[in-house]
């Protein structure tokens, strides 16, 4: 691994909002001055993007259907809003994103989750780890800015800024993100770049349409082997109201009565399993408690 020594001053630490002294962070701000691409003319993101006021939807039922943008369900470095599911109920708090020009994640920034909002004005919500930004500088095109912030050199810069207890919780603070500098690029140059990229992007999208997701392939294999219909399961899964007898709450020795646990979709799975020989999970493994650990 390459070690790159550098010199800085303690006074530099006190000149920032975050009192961080880790080497990558200090090198990025004290030696590179926040510049990712060496350029005579550059501008910090805070002069281009403005965070929008947060409007949070609490978990539970929504007033209408919204398109849901998830970090885990999006492809890294793809940057496109497509195949978003419509939801009328959410299991955790979500943020309204409909008015954003650019959407950037705090969590896992190095994986590349930056989106230009091609669905602006539509009912779009997403994880509270996503920050909606408004363009305040018309000299930059949203799509160009997205591709720039998804480039490998910028993903490496996020690695110098992120912090957290474990890799799965590493985040880049929005204040640091907005201080990053990007080169000044003329609007005609941006347009020419996007024209070239759009051709390749269209070809990539067409090829992706011919691919099946690993989940769908696994579901088809299981459906074939166990003789059930994924469509029937999905149909039952969409039931939002149902009736249940108290006498049927004995599905678990814990006598759980939660709506999710007793949902009719699991009755369908029970019907399928009853047609086959099966072994309960406890036949394969024993909990540490039972082993006396």
3-state SS track over 101-164: CEEEECECHHHCCEEECCCCCCCEEEECCEEEEEECCCCCCHHHHHHHHCCHHHHHHHHHHCEC
pLDDT digits (tens, 9 = 90+) for 254-284: 667 677 777 878 888 888 878 887 777 776 6
pLDDT digits (tens, 9 = 90+) for 168-198: 889 999 999 999 999 999 999 999 999 999 8
pLDDT digits (tens, 9 = 90+) for 95-151: 999 999 999 999 999 999 999 999 999 999 999 999 999 999 989 999 999 999 999
Torsion of CA 217, 219, 224, 228, to 10 degrees: -160
Confidence of residue 17 (pLDDT cuts 50, 70, 90): confident
Same domain, 107 and 205: yes
Same domain, 165 and 81: yes
3-state secondary structure of 48: coil
Same domain, 149 and 283: no
Confidence of residue 285 (pLDDT cuts 50, 70, 90): low
103 Cβ contact partners less than 8 Å away, ≥ 6 residues apart: 69, 97, 114, 115, 116, 117, 126, 130, 131, 132, 133
Same domain, 51 and 157: yes
Structural domain of residue 240, as residue ranges? 229-291
State CA 243 to chain mean position distance: 35
Q: To the nearest whole number, what is the mean pLDDT of the chain?
A: 86
Q: What is the pLDDT of residue 251?
A: 62
Q: What is the pLDDT of residue 253?
A: 62
Q: What is the pLDDT of residue 61?
A: 92
Flag whether 136 is in a domain: yes
Flag whether 259 is in a domain: yes
Quick one: tokens of 142? 């949203």
Same domain, 203 and 253: no
Q: Is the pLDDT of residue 4 over 80?
A: no
pLDDT digits (tens, 9 = 90+) for 39-84: 778 999 999 999 999 999 999 999 999 999 998 888 899 999 988 9
Element (H, E) at 176: helix 174-177
Same domain, 124 and 164: yes
Confidence of residue 18 (pLDDT cuts 50, 70, 90): confident
CA separation for the pair 90, 96 (Å, rounded): 13
How many C-beta atoms surround the C-beta of residue 121 within 10 A?
8
Counting every residue written for the chain, the total comes to: 293
CA separation for the pair 105, 40 (Å, rounded): 29
Same domain, 194 and 233: no
How many C-beta atoms surround the C-beta of residue 272 within 10 A?
16
Flag whether 17 is in a domain: no
CA separation for the pair 64, 98 (Å, rounded): 14
How many C-beta atoms surround the C-beta of residue 193 within 10 A?
16
Same domain, 78 and 122: yes
Q: Is the pLDDT of residue 1 over 60?
A: no
Quick one: tokens of 141? 């095109």
Same domain, 187 and 280: no
Flag whether 21 is in a domain: no
Quote the number of domains for the chain: 2
Flag whether 66 is in a domain: yes
Flag whether 204 is in a domain: yes
Query: What is the percentage of the chain residues whose pLDDT exceeds 90?
Result: 49
Flag whether 220 is in a domain: no
Q: What is the mean pLDDT of residues 210-238?
A: 82
Same domain, 156 and 56: yes
Same domain, 245 and 193: no
CATH of the domain at 190: 3.90.220.20
Query: What are the E-state strand segments in the chain?
Result: 42-44, 49-51, 56-57, 60-69, 86-90, 94-96, 102-105, 114-116, 124-127, 130-135, 181-183
Quick one: tokens of 186? 């003329």
Task: Report strand pairing: 49-51 vs 42-44.
Answer: unpaired
Contact 49, 133 (CB under 8 A): yes
Same domain, 72 and 191: yes
Say which residue the tokens 């962070």 belong to.
25
Flag whether 249 is in a domain: yes
Q: What is the mean pLDDT of residues 4-24?
A: 80
CA separation for the pair 29, 24 (Å, rounded): 9
Q: What is the pLDDT of residue 5?
A: 81
């Amino acid at each position: 691994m390459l070690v790159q020594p550098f010199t800085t001053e303690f006074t530099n630490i006190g000149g920032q909002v975050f009192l961080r002294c880790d080497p990558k962070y200090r090198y990025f701000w004290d030696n590179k001055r926040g510049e990712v691409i060496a350029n005579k003319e550059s501008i910090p993101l805070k002069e281009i993007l403005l965070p929008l006021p947060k409007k949070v939807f609490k978990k539970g039922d929504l007033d209408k259907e919204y398109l849901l943008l998830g970090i885990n369900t999006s492809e890294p470095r793809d940057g496109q809003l497509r195949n978003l599911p419509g939801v009328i109920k959410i299991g955790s708090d979500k943020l309204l994103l409909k008015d954003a020009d650019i959407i950037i994640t705090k969590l896992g920034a190095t994986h590349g989750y930056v989106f230009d909002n091609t669905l602006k004005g539509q009912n779009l919500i997403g994880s509270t780890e996503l920050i909606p930004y408004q363009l305040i500088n018309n000299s930059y095109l949203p799509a160009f800015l997205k591709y720039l912030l998804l480039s490998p050199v910028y993903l490496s810069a996020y690695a110098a800024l992120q912090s957290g207890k474990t890799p799965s919780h590493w985040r880049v603070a929005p204040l640091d993100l907005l201080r990053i500098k990007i080169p000044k690029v003329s609007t005609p140059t941006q347009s020419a770049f996007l024209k070239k990229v759009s051709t390749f992007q269209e070809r990539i999208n067409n090829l992706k349409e011919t691919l099946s997701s690993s989940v769908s392939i696994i579901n088809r294999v299981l459906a074939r082997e166990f003789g059930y219909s994924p469509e029937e399961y999905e149909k039952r899964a969409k039931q939002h109201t149902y009736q249940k007898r108290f006498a049927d709450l004995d599905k678990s020795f814990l006598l759980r009565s939660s709506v999710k646990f007793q949902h009719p979709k699991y009755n369908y799975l029970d019907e399928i399993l009853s047609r086959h020989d099966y072994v309960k999970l406890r036949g394969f493994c024993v909990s540490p408690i039972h082993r006396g650990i």
